[in-house]
Structure 1
Amino acid sequence: MNIRLRGASNVTTAEGWQPVQRVRTYEQVMSQIEERILDGRLKAGDRLPSERDLALLLGVSRPSLRESLRVLEALGVVDIRRGGGVDGGAVLLSAPGPGFVNLLKLQLALGHFDSTDVLDTRVALETWSCSEAAYRSTDIDHTRLASILDDMEAPGIEAHEFNRLDTAFHVTIAESTGNTLTAHLMGSLRVAIHRQMIEAYDRLDDWRRTAVTVRQEHRGILQAITDKDAAGAARLVSEHIHDFYKIGNVGGTYPGH
């Protein structure tokens, strides 16, 4: 269908138009706060105006304002401190909250990302982490990692606990780089695919035999990190991830490891 606009020389197709979306009030409030954070007018540690004053400034009801602040609090952007006076109100957080991590974990667990994309991201993230850990990790980090591997070798350990420790090993490597964002991303990835890891082990004829190989590969990765062999650590963790992917992959579903 073609519609000729009055006073216009061109013809516009109806397909080029989109229905007007009604934006909810709390989304508009969040948008204004976000805009001020991004352009520097608001920064970590700043306190927002009181609920009454901010509602008046924005021309919205206090319930709508509270709704937007609750969403921002859940995302880990603000801390809502109860009570009046200098200690009360909404403060922009200066440290990362759990909101981003939890959101990413849920989206990964719900399958919002293609399994190949998850695999590629894990390889990129973990090879970088192991390479950086070879330079930045400390003796304390090495001791923590070795302790995790010792626990993974406990007689009679079950698959669920084995995989929990597996996750802890990889996340601890990321933490040892000193890069907080990388550690958060690693934690999200590993926790989100924990269920797939358990299912992958359940599909194996003898998961304990595979666990022996996994432990040996972990020891090799730790040794490379301890020896400050960045290239070796990155290569070993890449092989480690891909090898388990080949072993545990059933029906084209990425099992994680």
Structure 2
Amino acid sequence: MKVHETVMDWVTAELRSGRLSIGDHLPGERALAETLQVSRGSLREALRVLEALGTIRTSTGSGPRSGTIVTAAPEQALALALDMQLATRHVEHEHIYEVRLLLEAWAAEHAEVEAADLAAAEQLLERMDEVELPVEEFLQLDAAFHASLSRAAGNPLISTLMDALRSAIADHTLARAQALPDWSSTAVRLRAEHHGIFECVRDGDRAGAAQLLREHIEGYYRETAAAAADDARA
């Protein structure tokens, strides 16, 4: 077993037993190395792997936020894995589109107004309403808006998956936007659709929100696919 797996197994066991909780500090490096019977050099390498995976956060200095802290941010590991899958073309952008339809429509159908962070979603809408906003920034905010609304379903796994998909969604929509002949017209339509979706969620209209989300995602995909096909013919 690799050292980072040994450390992960130990952290997992401690969390399950209740001896550790999210936000707790891990033992010091020397004590943990002795507990796990590994070298301190191997332990440092293992902790770097776990930090990249979002399991822990390490900080130098003094005070309550220093040291090695259990964070459990699974979306970070999922995002890294997804980026690798996209880079190797094992996962295509069409697959992201299909997963979005499933996750976002389900989340809308199960949304609870009380669980929605409407203020955060509305703030994202306001930033997207800036006419001179660069397309890259618009689409990053767009992905954050969709991830924000998904949290209203109160399903932590859906929220984690959507958070992990955020960068992939932004990259996916940007790649497709590059084929559009008139981004500004598309942006006007997307803004209007975002506001319509937000209003349905705010008003507790789950079916309406789910339908508008499907139309919104499918519409962008069809529009950009048609633009790409026109470019290919030209």
After TM superposition, the score normalised by the length of structure 1 is 0.69
The answer (yes or no) to whether the contact 1:134–1:233 under 8 Å persists in 2 is no
Judged with a 3 Å threshold, the aligned counterparts in structure 2 of structure 1 residues 180 and 106 are, in CA distance, closer, same or farther, namely same
Instruction: Specify which of 172, 187, 202 is matched with residue 226 of structure 1.
Output: 202
Query: Are 1:60 and 2:38 counterparts?
Result: yes
Question: 1:25-72: CA deviations, max 9, x gaps?
Answer: x24533542562576375325554443333334332221122112222
Q: Distance in 2 between matches of 1:146 and 1:52?
A: 48
| Alpha-carbon spacing, 1:80–1:132, altered in 2? closer, same or farther (3 Å) | same
Query: Within the alignment, does 1:186 sit opposite 2:162 as a pair?
Result: yes
Instruction: Quote the RMSD (CA, aligned, Å).
Output: 3.5
> In structure 2, do the counterparts of structure 1 residues 123 and 28 end up closer, same or farther at CA, with 3 Å as the change threshold?
closer
Q: Which deviates more from structure 2 when the two are superposed, residues 166-175 or residues 30-39?
A: 30-39
What is the aligned residue count?
225
Is the 8 Å Cα contact of residues 149 and 218 (structure 1) preserved in structure 2?
yes
- Contact between 1:109 and 1:193, CA under 8 Å: does it hold in 2? no
Contact 2:200 2:209 in 1 (8 A): yes
Paired with 1:27 and 1:134, the residues of 2 have a C-alpha distance of 39
3-state SS of the aligned residue for 2:111?
helix
In the TM superposition, what whole-angstrom CA distance separates every residue of 1:214-252 from its partner, at most 9, and x where no partner exists? 22322221222122111111111012111211111247x
- Indicate conservation of the 8 Å contact 1:76/1:96, yes or no: yes
Q: CA deviation at 1:122?
A: 0.9
- The equivalent of 2:218 in structure 1 is 242
Corresponding residue number in structure 2 for 1:30: 7
User: Alpha carbons of 1:135 and 1:88: their partners in 2 closer, same or farther (altered >3 Å)?
Assistant: closer
Q: Alpha carbons of 1:157 and 1:54: their partners in 2 closer, same or farther (altered >3 Å)?
A: closer
Q: Which moved more, 1:197-206 or 1:187-196?
A: 187-196
Q: How does 1:81-160 map to 2 (within 5 A)?
A: 82=60, 90-93=68-71, 96=73, 99-100=76-77, 102-104=79-81, 106-107=83-84, 109-110=86-87, 111-133=89-111, 135-137=113-115, 141=118, 143-160=119-136
* Deviation digits for residues 79-132 of structure 1 (CA, Å, limit 9, x no counterpart): 446579x99764433x63763354245335524424343222211211123233
Whether 1:165 and 2:141 are equivalent positions in the alignment is yes
- The whole-number CA distance in structure 2 between the counterparts of 1:188 and 1:147 is 21
Larger fraction in helix:
2
The runs of 5 or more residues in structure 2 that have no matched partner are 230-234
TM-score (normalizing by structure 2): 0.75
Distance in 2 (alpha carbons) for counterparts of 1:206 and 1:38? 52
Contact 2:58–2:66, Cα closer than 8 Å, also in 1: yes
Separation in 1 of the partners of 2:173 and 2:221?
10
Name the % identity: 33
Specify the SS of the correspondent of 1:203. Answer: coil
Unaligned runs of 5+ in 1: 1-22, 252-257
Residue type of the partner of 2:147? V
Please say if residues 75 and 164 of structure 2, whose CA atoms lie closer than 8 Å, have aligned partners that are also in contact. Answer: no
